[in-house]
Amino acid sequence: MKRLIKHGLRRGLKLYLFRGLQKLRILQYRLLSENAPREMRGRLKQPALFCGVGEIYIGASSIGVWPSPYFLNGYAHIEARESTAEIRIGKGCHLNNNAVLIAERNRISIGDDTLIGHCFSAYDSDFHRLEAHLRSSGTHDGKDISIGNNVFIGANVTVLKGVTIGDNSVIANGSLVNRDIPPNVIAGGVPAKVLAPLPD
């Protein structure tokens, strides 16, 4: 009995210290952030760095998951780089650890009730031209990204500019999504393609 009580006290102390340290990390990244979301109804369980001069809106969602990889040594990077850029996350979403969303000039939107695995990335731009003599000219283009409602995205997924992912669809771990994915399907691969319809 004494051993159980001792174990319980030790565990409680560890959790208390752990939560305190994570709160300090979240505060540190908040102080480092140069952009504050216009709307922030979400809950940060992991540090998030907000960058750029565009607009960021986060509904009643959560960023960071415990227990999951990179919870203690990673952070979310959410950047609306230029004044025309916008990032919008709906309500009921769960973004796992180490998410990266960079909207350079366009819009990245994530619908309601979407689940996203760790090390997810979304980029609305290539950031550079392919031609060697124009690579740093700043004349590259960008396109909106739209992720629908109730989408389930696995770990280590990258979504590129111009992509729309339809409602309810599932994207497999490790996928590179560079084209539209319709609603109600399972998709995966590099590049991602439709693998099957969602089961009823």
Is 118 annotated as catalytic? no
**Contacts with 69 (C-beta within 8 Å, 6 or more apart), sequence order:** 97, 98, 118, 119
Return the residue matching tokens 């560890």.
14
- Alpha carbon distances (Å) from 62 to 13, 32, 75, 84, 122: 25, 20, 13, 25, 17
| Type and span of the H or E element at 112 | none
Q: Which of 77, 94, 118, 128 is catalytic?
A: 128
Euclidean distance between CA atoms 99 and 156, whole angstroms = 9
- Positions annotated as catalytic residues are 128
